[in-house]
């Protein structure tokens, strides 16, 4: 009898005590979409070439993509996940959509070395003072730290690199231009 009662209590706690991961994701997404995005001054440009100048990123664009990576998440493993941006960056850039990949970190020498070792060809920015995070709503969930911005407001949130449906949504929205 005690065993059945214990199982009943445990089941009740599990059913009513746990949050739904889907509900949390929906709430996170709702908190981000429609929010204004500001690109702060003082970003340090890395890997820019003659064909892509950091000053061109200051122009007004209808769409931009922002991928935000905080210093806690910045590691060699995280950089390897960025490798697909080598092609995607230039795909979007040719469509007139700049991609801001922003690393929030103060010490970035190691990051530059790793980007050279991993042969990351796209430009990115270092935010040494954390101004992007101060000025913008950042999701606690890393899934939503890449956003498609239209007219300075988040239109879509999520990393299109590993999600084909989301990539199709990004491309479809940008093609409306």
pLDDT, tens digit only, all 177 positions of the chain = 544 443 334 333 333 444 555 667 788 778 888 999 888 888 888 875 544 555 555 557 889 999 998 766 556 666 677 778 888 888 998 888 988 888 887 777 777 777 777 677 777 888 888 899 999 988 888 888 899 999 889 999 998 988 899 999 999 999 986
Question: 34 CB contacts (<8 Å, ≥6 apart)?
Answer: 153, 154
Question: How far is the C-alpha of 173 from the C-alpha of 177, rounded, in Å?
Answer: 8
Token code pair at residue 68: 């935000």
Beta strand 124-126 pairing with 99-104: parallel
pLDDT at 25: 73
Contact status, residue 102 vs residue 134, Cβ threshold 8 Å: no
Architecture of the CATH domain 21-175:
3-Layer(aba) Sandwich (3.40)
Beta bridge partners of 70: 104
Task: State pLDDT tens for residues 96-111.
Answer: 898 888 888 777 777 7
Q: Which two tokens stand for residue 174?
A: 């940008």
Give me the residue spans of the domains in the chain: 21-175
């Amino acid at each position: 009898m005690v065993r059945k009662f214990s199982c009943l209590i445990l089941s009740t706690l599990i059913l009513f005590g746990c949050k739904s991961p889907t509900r949390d994701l929906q709430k996170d997404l709702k908190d981000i979409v429609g929010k204004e995005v500001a690109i702060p001054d003082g970003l340090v440009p890395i890997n820019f070439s003659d064909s892509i100048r950091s000053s061109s990123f200051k122009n007004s664009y209808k769409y931009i993509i922002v991928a935000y990576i905080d210093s806690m998440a910045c590691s060699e493993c995280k950089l390897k996940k960025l490798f697909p941006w080598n092609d995607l960056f230039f795909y979007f850039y040719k469509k007139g959509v700049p991609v801001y990949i922003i690393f929030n970190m103060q010490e970035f020498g190691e990051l530059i070395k790793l980007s050279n070792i991993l042969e990351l060809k796209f430009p990115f920015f270092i935010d040494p003072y954390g101004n992007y995070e101060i000025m913008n709503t950042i999701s606690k969930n890393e899934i939503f730290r890449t956003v498609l911005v239209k007219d300075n407001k988040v239109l879509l949130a999520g990393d299109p690199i590993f999600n084909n449906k989301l990539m199709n949504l990004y491309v479809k929205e940008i093609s409306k231009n």
